[in-house]
Each structure stands twice: as C-alpha cells, then as structure tokens.
Structure 1
Amino acid sequence: MRWPSSDRIVFPVGLLATLLVLVVVFYYPVGRVLLAAIDPAGSPLAPIGDVLADPFYVGVAHHVFTNPASVPAGVLAWLADGAPLGAFEFGLFGFTAYQAALSALASVALGLPGAYVLARYDFWGRRTLTSLTIVPFVLPSILVAVGFQAMFGRTGLLNDLLAVVGLGPIEVLYTLPAIVIAHAFYNAPLVTRFVTGAWEGVDAREIESARAMGATPVRAFRDVVVPKLLPSLLSATLLAFVFSFMSFPIVLALGGLELQTVEVWLYAKVQSLELEAAAGLAVLESILSLGLMYLYLRYESGQIASRSGRLSRARRSLLAGWRTVSDPRRLAVLAYGVVAGVVFLGPVLSLLIESITGPDGALTMAYYEFLLARQASTAVGTIAPLTAIRNSLLFALGTLAVAVPMGVIVSLVATRGGRGSRLAEALLSAPLAVSGIVVGLGLLETLVFGVEVFGYRLTVTGWLAVVAAHAVAAYPFVTRNVTPALAGIDDRVVDAARSLGASRLRALLTVTVPLIAAPLVAGAAFAFAISIGEFDSTVLLAEGGASHTMPVALERYVGNRSIGPSLGPATAMGSVVLAVTAASFVVIDRVGGRYDG
C-alpha cells in the first residue's frame, strides 16, 4: 500500500515522535532492567546461564546447557522405559507453558461458540452484548481475582448454593482448573471478538455455490467457512497463549505457592531485591514472548485482506421457531448460554452480591459506607475511592491522547509493505509482549529515580509517569484494530479523490479517516479500558493518594479487614471499578458504531 493517508511531513514527524516516546518510556527503561542480566566482571550472561542450568526453572532441559553430551543417552533411556510422562520434569518455564496452553484451549472452547452466536443470529441487545464481550478482557486482573474468590472460595457463592441442597463445600481455589477458568474468563472474549468478524465476512455466495454443486451443509462448512475462520482463530489462540503465559495477578491470587509461574517468580525476585536473578528471568521470558508475538504478526500479515465486495450471510432470528425441537443448534446455543453465564456472570454476580451481603447473610450497605468514610478520612495512607476514580478517568483520557496517534503511526508502518515492515511492526509492538512488572521496574529505576541528561537530572513522576506507562501498554491494541482496516483500503479509492483535485489532507479527511473510523474508535475503547484496568506497572509508579488508581485502591482493600473478615470492602470497591470500566467501554464502543458501514 502506498501512502494515500499520510502527509509527507505529518507521517515522518509522527513516526519520529512515536520512536522518541518508545525509546524514553519503553526501550531504555526495559533495556536497563535486562542489562542487569549481564555480568561484566565474570561470565557476560551469567544470570541467564544460571537460570538455564537450574532444573527448577527448565526441568530436564537443563542437561542441554550443563552436559549436552548426556542428552541423547538420556532420551534413549527414557524411550526404553516406555516414555513415562512422569519421568519428565519441565520446570517453572515448562509449567508456565503448560498452563498457558490449557488456558488457550479453554479460551477457544468457550469463545468459539460465542462467535457463532453473534455472527449467525440476530436478537434484541445483540450489539450491546457484542460490546460487552470484550469487557472481561480489559477488567483489572485484581478485580477478576476478587470475583473468583467471591464465587469459588470456601465461603463463596458457589459453596453457599451447594450448602442449600446439602452438598459441598468444594475446594476450587489454588488449583490448576481455577487458573485455567480465570484465564478463559479473560481470553475467551478475545477469541469471540476475533472470530466473529471473520465469520461475518464469509461470502454467502461461496457457500451457496458449494451447496449448488452438491456439497452437504457439513462439507460446505468444512471447505468454505473453516478456511476463512482458521487464520483469525489461530491468531486469537496464539494471543491467548501469550497473555496466559505472562499472567501475573490471576496466578498470584488463585494459584497458591505450588502453582507459581515465571511471572509470579519474577515478581518474587523483585520483591526480595534479587534483581540479577530477576533480570535473567526477564530476559528469557521476553525472548519467548517477543518471538511468539513476531510469529503472530507474520501470520496475521498473510491473512489480512479486504472484505469489500463480499455478501455476508443474513443473520437468523434467535427466537424464531424456538418452540420446535427440529433444530438441535438452538439447544446447543441454550446449553452454551448456561455455561457462559456461569463462567462470565458467576464471578461478576458473586462480586456484586458479596458487596451487599454481611457476614450473617443479611443485606447491608456497610461496605459502601466504609468506602465513603475512607473518602472523608484524612489519615495518612488512606486511599479515597472518588479520588481513585477521578485519577483513573483522567489517566485514561491522557492515555488516549498519546496511544491513539502512536497506534495509527505503527499501523501505517505495518501496511506500508516491504520486507522489513513485519519486523518493524514487531519491534514497535514489543510492549504487548513484555511484562508489565519489567516495564514498571524499568521506569522506576530510570525516569522516576532520575536520569542524567547533559548535566541535568531529569525525573518523571506522578501522573506523567503513570500515563506514559499506560500509553505504552495500550497503543498496540489501537494498532491491532486499525491495521486490518488500513490494509483493506483500495488505493484506487484514494487515487480517484486525488484525481478529482483533492489534496493529500482532504483525501485523508474525507476518504481514509471515514474508512478507518470504526476500528479506530474500537482501538480507542481498548486503550481507554486498558488504562483504567492497568495494575502491574501502576502499583510501582503511583505516588501517594494523588496518583492512585482504582485497581491500586482495590488491591489495598483486598487485605483490609477493618469491618470484618469478609471480602466486603474489596468487593464494594470492585463493584465500582466494574461499573466504571463497563460503562466507559460500552459508551466508546457504541459511539464508534456510528461509523460502521
């Protein structure tokens, strides 16, 4: 694609500004953390070597780095014993990858039927439901952890319901299934979002042609629909794997000591000030996640195509003929609705119910009154809820102002074409695959503590540091929404406007911008909600009550037992966070719907 949508001056300046922000806020701070893995006095990469040689981290694979000659013999002996899986220890990295793979599969199993329902059926509230599908993905991790504790804890809603019928209690928390279900709660909507668009873009004429040539409905689906869905499905699965691999608060809160992952162990090393070991883990984790992200971008580039000219299949009414049992698909939709309701609505409803239920089971507003009392308190260290809400909204607006232009610039780089465009996009989208803990720690050690620049000590603290971290975390999601739309613009449309006398600027405003307006607003909704829910770097960068956000306030209330042993204060604050996040995302997404073609 040529540059019909970028001015010769505007684009280079925007690209330079984007690179400057990334260097200052991301590459330099993260580089400082990763450089701690280099030991100039001894072996250059001693911390990394220590990790690779430790069976705790890499399991049986440590033989590859400690005694490579023993590997073939060990494999042969293992095969001679019948290849018992129990004899293979995969270590911390292996378990992290294992739980991420299970979580990705669970996300597909839960998200794919939802894509089918949204793409093929029409019903009241469908558009709002489409907007809400992505809300779980952008909810603060600490909020999801509290919701799962409120539902699956020993005194949670699930065990309360089981006690009514004389069953239970059951222990779900601190098990691998709890982690997998929580990750599916997060990533299944991502699968739904990706695949729904692809399913809606399947050309109805191709299906009709296959049926006219004698193909059965099953074969037409296999030969026509599946190839159209597969690229989006694989892309979403890979992203779900990456996000589950890098998950931190979910595993920390729901996994317990026996189910720790690389990210949790990295946080523990930072907490204990073992920064050299943390740097070694950070390097290996970043290499793995960046490699996977590069593969995702390369794969995605091969399947992005314009859907213009396609005749989408008309949606069927979900309720038409509901009383008949001749169509088993409706029963399957009903069964899926029950499962999805338990997984998605269960933790949310448990959070809301716990926030208005006292220890004796009676309705109470004491937890919300507790929040109001905190708002009026002048005690040192007190987090005022309304102040946290205000900060989150202001930080999110600031994030939009920075992340949206950056995301568009990166999309332009990705759609320019050429052999290096994928690599350039991967480098510019690196924040998507780097731990938020690493980013926050890097900013803390550099900009917050101060950096010498031409004899002056430059420091960036408070709201500016938080907005910078949020913008870097959010702009890749703008890019992921805008890039397919830019790639699908037919150059001839813009050329026609230019041939009729339109300047570059006018062609940009009257042709290109309307064509990408809807995905641009969708990307902005992502950026806004991600800023509101960002926790990992914010908890390190927030200074006092002046820059605390809602997730930070929620984390403080999780351990608060000032008015009893329940999760009440945390669930009350969580309910506020949920309401603000959902309302903000739906409003922005619905506004973007005005631009849908």
Structure 2
Amino acid sequence: MASRDRFGRLAHRLGAVTDASATGLAVAAALGTAVVLVLVLYLPVGVVFAEAFGGPRPFASFGRVLTDPFYTGVLAEVFDRPLAIGYHAGNVLAWVGGVSIGLDGVHAPPLRKGLFGFTAYQAALSTAVSVVVGLPGAYVLANYEFRGRRALRSLTIVPFVLPGIMVASGFYAAFGRSGLLNDALGVVGAGPQTLLETNPLLVVVLAHAFYNAPLVTRVVTAAWEAVDYRSVETARSLGASRRRAFRDVVLPQLRPALVTGALLTFLFTFLTFPIVLALGGLELATVEVWVYDRVRRLQFEEAATLAVLETVVSLGVTYAYLRFEARQRAGGGGEGPPREPLFAGSPLDPTRLAIAAYAAVVVVLFVGPMASMVVEGFTDGSGFTLSHYAFLFERQAEGASYQTKPLPAIVNSLVFATATVAVAVPMGLVISVVATGEGRARSLVETATMLPFAVSGVVFGVGLLRALVFGVPLPGGWRLALTGAVAIVAAHAVAAYPFVVRNVAPQLAGIDHRLVESARSLGASRVRAVLDVELPLAATGLVAGAAFAFAISIGEFDSTVILASDAGSYTMPVAVERYLGRRFGPAMAMGTVLLVVTSASFVVVDRLGGRFERG
C-alpha cells in the first residue's frame, strides 16, 4: 500500500514536470513566434513607412509622387489642386465632349493612367479574364460527375504551389520569339509571330489568368456545392424557368464567393512582380517592378513612398476581401446541386459542346505553357537535344564565381525550403491554436495572418534590406543584422506561415471538444491537451501546411531577388530569371527542374487534402 502511494506521488511529480515542461515549451514557442513576427515582419514594414515619412518635411515625398503625372496620370492635377473643383469638372466635361461614336466604334481622347493607374488597369483586366475563365470550371465541377473530377479540382490549388517566375517562363516558352508557337508555325511554313514583343500586355493578362482562374474556380466551386438547392426546387415548382431560378436563387448565394475570388485576384495581380518583370520589364512596369528598379538604383526614399502608397491600396482591397469572405463563410449550408454524369446523353447537346470547347481552351491556356517549357528545354532548332542541360553542367564546372551556377541554386532552394519549414510550421501552429479561440483574439489573429498577403514581397524585401541586412542599431553599441541565408529564410518563413495556419486552424476548429474536455477532466493541462489530443488529430493539416511552406519557399522570388547578395545565394527562381532573355534553352531547362520539385510538393499537398480557404 505504501509503495503504491509512493508510486502515485512519483507519477504525479512526473506528470507535473511534464506539464510544466510542456507549458514552458508552449510559452517559449509563443514568445519566439511573437519575436520573429516583430523583428522580421512588422519592423521591416515599419522601416519602409519610416523611410517614406522621413526627412524635415515628412509628406514631401508623397506630394512629389502624387502630383507627378508619371505616377498618378490624370489624377496628378487633382492631387496638385484638390480644391479646384470647377477646374477639374471642366476637364472631365472636356474629355467627355471629346468622345465620339462612329460606325467603327467609340473613340475617346487618350486618358493618362500613370504608373498606379496602369497597375490597377492590368489588374482589372487580369481579374476580368480570370473570372471569365474560372467560372465555367466552377460550374462543371459543381454540377457534373466524371472520372478525374477530384484530380481536376485538386489542380485548382496550383496558384499556391507554382512559382510565378516559372509560369512566366512557360508563357515565354510558348509565345516568345524562340517559343513553341513559332516552332509549330515554322513547320507549316507560316511566318513567326511576335506576340510577346508587339502585345506583351495580352501575354501578361493570360499568364495572370493561368495563375488566378483556378483560384476563382476553387472559391466559387466551394460556394456552389453549399447552395441550398431545395430553394431552387421550390422556385422551379412555382413556375420559374431554369434560368430564372439560377438568377433569383443560385446567383445571390454565389455572389459573395464571386466577389471574394475577384477581390483576391485583383489583390494578387495588383501586387504582381515576377510575371511582369519577366514578360514586360520596365516597358510594362507595375508599381512592384518600379519599386524594385528604384531599389536597384539606390533611390530608397522614392521606393519607400511608392511602397507605402501601394500598401494602402492593397490593405483597402484586403479589408473588402475579408468582409466578403466573412459573408461567404456565413452563407451556404446546403447540399449543393445534384451532379449528373458529364458524358451521358447526346454528344451534340449544346451544353456538352460548350463544355468541350471550354476544355480545349483550358488545355491550351494551362497545359500549353508548361508543356512548352519542358519541350523547349529538350529541343533546339534541329530537334531533340540535351545541350541545354549540358550547358548547366558546364556552367557549374567552368563558370566564373560571379555567374549564376545551377547546382548552388538547386541546393540553396532545398536548404532554404527545409529551414523555412522548420521555422514556419511552429509559427503557424502557435497562431492556429490562438486562432481557434473565441472573441477578439481570434479576429485579431485572422487579420494579422493576412498581412503577408497585403504587403507585397518586394516591399517586404526592401524593408528587410533596409532594416535587418543593413542593420538596426541597439543600445550599448550593438547592431542587430540578418544577412545572407538567414535573411532569406526569415523572409520565406513569414511568407509561408499563413498557409500553415490555413491548413491547421480548420482542423483544430473541427475537433470534437468533448475529447479535449475529457482530457482536461483527467488532469491534463491545456497545453498537454493540445499536444496529446489536438495535434495528433490535426497531423494531416500540419504535414499539408509543411508541404505548402516548402513549396512557397521553393518558388519565392519577390524578396529573394532583393536579398540574394551574390551568385552563391541565388535560388532556382532567381537563376531562371537570370537565364531568361539571355540563354533561352538553359532557362527552360532550369524551369523544368523547378517544375519537378514543385510538382512533388503539390502531390504531398493534394494527398493530404491541403487547403487555402480560411477556416
């Protein structure tokens, strides 16, 4: 009896030690997460803002930018003379009076858009095309059953796995002067086309649609499958036609998802960088590309001012997105439409003919660029060749130290991605535990996790460069600095942790709370309950989040191209950009290697049910 009591006291002490250790570990993880976010996210962004407002006249740089027609176009006069309402109204009337309508269309005097106006213009075009391409896909996935439907739906996660610079390489391989389209035209004796040179904006918009149409499809499909279809049947029984029932019953339930997808697409394309840099350069510059150019020219005040103005716009779009996303999450609850077999019935049915035509467009738009990149990596003007891959090996063996070598780029990408997983997964886990709580803390955490989306990678890279790479002075003569690989991993981890949160938090929120309460009633602390009950049940979300973090790091380009100080710290996306436009074949070969690595990450995410939707 005495020995049993002693054993019970010993077990109690061991349990107390374990609980205390677990609690200490949890506190350390929470503090570490807070320190990383403050030092690596909020401090760099704050330094960018301080740079823009610095100097004896804090708002002088904003005045120069806002009143410069190069930046704000026709609105420059409004910012220069904001109270001259009559003058501005007269300009508007004069412009409207210059519009003429003829047999060949509507003609209007040119409207100066400026850098910000053009950025918004190309984002609006890209959003419209993405919605037009993505909506039919949502209709097919939500209303029809067919072999491969699950795999096709899984492919809608592509925007969060494929690197932007690789997508740009694919479109360069398809539509460039040495691309696959011109190779095919040469076979039939047709002259080469110069679409990328004569209309680069069209190619950029198509590349953005490649990237964002699957996002629209994914968001709208989820909403369509949650439509209360009993209300549709009720409307049909009361005499409404199929079109009327869709317009009056289904469309209002889909509208929040449509707006959510459009806003998120606009945000991503407004903050676009690698696609425009690779396909358009400074001739098609967006705000992001121009900020990058200002940094390269060491014009930091102008770059910071543009970055702040861009962030204000993106935060406004992010706020609107969160509002509509909350409405979408609050809606639904139905079982969606009954799915009918896609290949049943007559093949000449107009609906199925339209779906077949849409499938052809999807193959050309989505499969064509990636296939072109792979093909161009293994061919030259005379046919099949391995010379492009041989060049990579030769450059590795004989290239000068300042040249971009392939092997270090591959090794760096893998090492940085592994380190990113080690940092981003604990950060995402801590934030997920807090996000599954109730009340104001949850809403604050959800808003905070959206900041990496609202602040572009270029702005973030500029902040890291000015704050941590150059160093922050500390009391006592010390200096806080992050350089080289450490700075790059920190940037990647901050970009990746929201994806860990998106995968882990929904699974934690879906756990039966009675299991947690049972563990607590048996003496487990809150931390032990998380470690012993909740985490094992959310293990697939953790692994999917880790795969996401790995893929995000592999493909991250925006901040990496700023922080990679020499050829020894280049990653695969940076190497692709360095080769692109200079050595076409090796660029395609390196892009193919990048495609293989990111495809492996996609397989892991897909098998584990990885998700981006916010829980």
- State TM-score, norm by structure 1: 0.87
| Equivalent position of 2:395 in the other structure | 374
Partners of 1:72 and 1:405 in 2: CA distance: 58
Gap change, CA 1:333 and 1:28, over 3 Å in 2: same
1:355 matched to 2:377? The reply is: yes
Q: Which residue of 2 aligns with 1:181?
A: 206
Q: Distance in 2 between matches of 1:11 and 1:193?
A: 35
Larger Rg: 2
Q: 1:13 to 1:332 in 2, by over 3 A?
A: farther
Which secondary structure state, in structure 2, belongs to the residue aligned with residue 155 of structure 1?
coil
- Please report how far the alpha carbon of residue 170 of structure 1 lies from its aligned counterpart in structure 2 after TM superposition: 2.9
Q: Closer, same or farther in 2 for the Cα pair 1:588/1:82, shift >3 Å?
A: closer
Distance 1:256 1:454 in 2: 43
Task: Give the structure 1 partner of residue 245 of structure 2.
Answer: 220
Q: 1:344 aligns with which of 366, 376, 399?
A: 366
SS in 1 for 2:193: coil
Other structure's SS at 2:196 match: coil
2:258 maps to which residue?
233
Alpha-carbon displacement from aligned partner over 1:41-77 (angstroms, at most 9, x marks no partner): 2x21211111011121112222232212323332245
Within the alignment, does 1:170 sit opposite 2:193 as a pair?
Answer: yes
Q: Tell which deviates more after alignment, 576-585 or 249-258.
A: 249-258
Q: Which runs of 5+ in 1 are unaligned?
A: 1-6, 562-566
In 2: Cα distance, 1:56 partner to 1:515 partner: 55
One-letter code aligned to 2:84: S
Q: What's 1:304 paired with?
A: 329
Q: Take 1:289 and 1:501, find their aligned partners in 2: how far apart are those partners?
A: 48
The answer to whether the 8 A contact 1:63-1:71 is kept is: no
Alignment pair present for 1:398 and 2:413? no
Taking the aligned partners of 1:501 and 1:344, their CA distance within structure 2 comes to: 54
Residue 288 of structure 1, CA deviation:
1.0
CA contact (8 A) 2:391 2:586 kept: yes
Amino acid across the alignment from 1:361: S
1:319 matched to 2:343? The reply is: yes
Q: Secondary structure at the match of 1:133?
A: helix
Taking a change above 3 Å as real, the CA distance of residues 205 and 402 of structure 1, as seen in their structure-2 partners, is farther
**Which residue does the alignment assign to 1:580?**
597
* CA deviation after TM superposition for structure 1 residue 224, in Å: 3.8
- Tell me how far apart the structure 2 counterparts of residues 120 and 258 of structure 1 sit (CA, whole Å): 43
Deviations 1:414-459 (A, max 9, x none): 5545467545533442121212122222222332233333433333
Cα distance between partner residues in 1 of 2:123 and 2:71: 16
How far apart, in 2, do the equivalents of 1:181 and 1:142 lie? 14
1:158, distance to aligned residue in structure 2 (A): 1.7
In structure 2, the CA distance between the partners of 1:508 and 1:90, relative to structure 1 (3 Å rule), is: same
The letter for the 1-side match of 2:322 is: L
Instruction: Find the partner of 1:294 among 319, 328, 337.
Output: 319
User: Could you tell me how far apart the structure 1 residues matched to 2:95 and 2:250 are?
Assistant: 44
2:89 is the alignment partner of 1:75:
yes
Query: Which amino acid is the alignment partner of residue 487 of structure 2?
Result: A
AA aligned to 1:589 is D
Equivalent residue, structure 1, for 2:576:
554
C-alpha spacing 1:442/1:332, structure 2 compared with 1 (3 Å):
same
- Give CA deviations for 1:211-261 in whole Å, capped at 9, x if unaligned: 445443333333443233222221121111011111112222222544221
Task: Give the distance between the partners of 2:356 and 2:268, measured in 1 at CA.
Answer: 29
Q: 1:242 aligns to what?
A: 267
Q: Are residue 64 (structure 1) and residue 82 (structure 2) matched?
A: no
**1:98 deviation in Å?**
0.9
Aligned match of 1:197: 222
Matched, 1:94 2:117: yes
Q: For residue 99 of structure 1, what is the amino acid of its counterpart?
A: Q
- CA 1:476–1:218: 2 relative to 1, 3 Å: same
Q: Is 1:46–2:26 an aligned residue pair?
A: no
CA change 1:535–1:77 in 2 (3 A) is closer
Paired residue for 1:529? Answer: 551
Relative to structure 1, is the Cα distance of residues 136 and 226 closer, same or farther in structure 2, using a 3 angstrom cutoff?
A: same
Work out the CA distance in 1 between the residues paired with 2:296 and 2:179: 30
Which amino acid in 2 is paired with 1:354?
E
Which deviates more, 298-307 or 458-467? 298-307
In structure 2, C-alpha distance between the alignment counterparts of 1:190 and 1:350, rounded to whole Å = 23
Q: C-alpha distance in 1, partners of 2:188/2:414?
A: 44
Given residue 303 of structure 2, which amino acid in structure 1 is its aligned partner?
A
Amino acid at match of 2:157: I
The CA deviation at 1:14 is: 4.8
Residue of structure 1 in register with 2:354 after alignment? 332
**Residue of structure 1 in register with 2:12 after alignment:** none
Deviations 1:360-398 (A, max 9, x none): 332111111222233444742344434432332232232
- Distance in 2 (alpha carbons) for counterparts of 1:458 and 1:510: 38
The match for 1:589 is 606
- Change over 3 Å in CA distance of 1:391–1:86 after alignment to 2: same
What is the alpha-carbon distance in structure 1 between the residues aligned to residue 95 and residue 470 of structure 2?
A: 56
* 1:538 paired to 2:552: no
Give yes or no for contact 1:560–1:569 (8 Å, CA) kept in 2. no
Contact 1:137–1:185 (CA<8 Å) still a contact in 2? Answer: no
Structure 1 counterpart of 2:485, from 452, 463, 472: 463
CA deviation profile, 1:135-178 (whole Å, cap 9, x unmatched):
25532222222221221123322233334445443332143212
**For the Cα contact (< 8 Å) 1:134–1:190, is it kept in 2?**
yes
Question: How many Å separate the matches in 2 of 1:364 and 1:542?
Answer: 32
Q: Quick one: structure 1 residues 9 and 592, their matched pair in 2 at CA, closer, same or farther if it must change by over 3 Å?
A: farther
What TM-score does the superposition give when structure 2 sets the normalisation length? 0.84
* CA–CA separation in structure 1 for the residues paired with 2:442 and 2:606: 29
Distance 2:183 2:440 in 1: 59
Which residue number corresponds to residue 44 of structure 2? Answer: 29
Q: Determine the C-alpha separation between the residues in 2 that align with 1:525 and 1:72.
A: 58
Given candidates 155, 171, 188, the residue that maps to 1:148 is 171
Q: Which deviates more, 376-385 or 525-534?
A: 376-385
Contact 1:389 1:549 in 2 (8 A): yes
User: Quick check: 1:103–1:241 contact (8 Å CA) kept in 2?
Assistant: yes
SS at match of 1:535: coil
Does residue 479 of the first structure (1) align with residue 501 of the second (2)?
A: yes
Q: Say whether the 8 Å CA contact 2:545–2:610 is kept in structure 1.
A: no
CA distance in 2, matches of 1:593, 1:143: 22
Tell me which of 101, 126, 134 is aligned to 2:149: 126
Contact persistence 2:413–2:554 (CA under 8 A):
yes
For the 8 Å contact 2:541–2:608, the answer to whether it is kept is no
Question: Alpha-carbon deviation of 1:463?
Answer: 2.6
Q: Is the 8 A contact 2:253 2:331 kept in 1?
A: no
Quick one: distance in 1 between partners of 2:327 and 2:365?
A: 34
Contact preservation (8 Å) 2:40, 2:464: yes
TM-aligned CA distance change 1:523 to 1:130, over 3 Å: farther
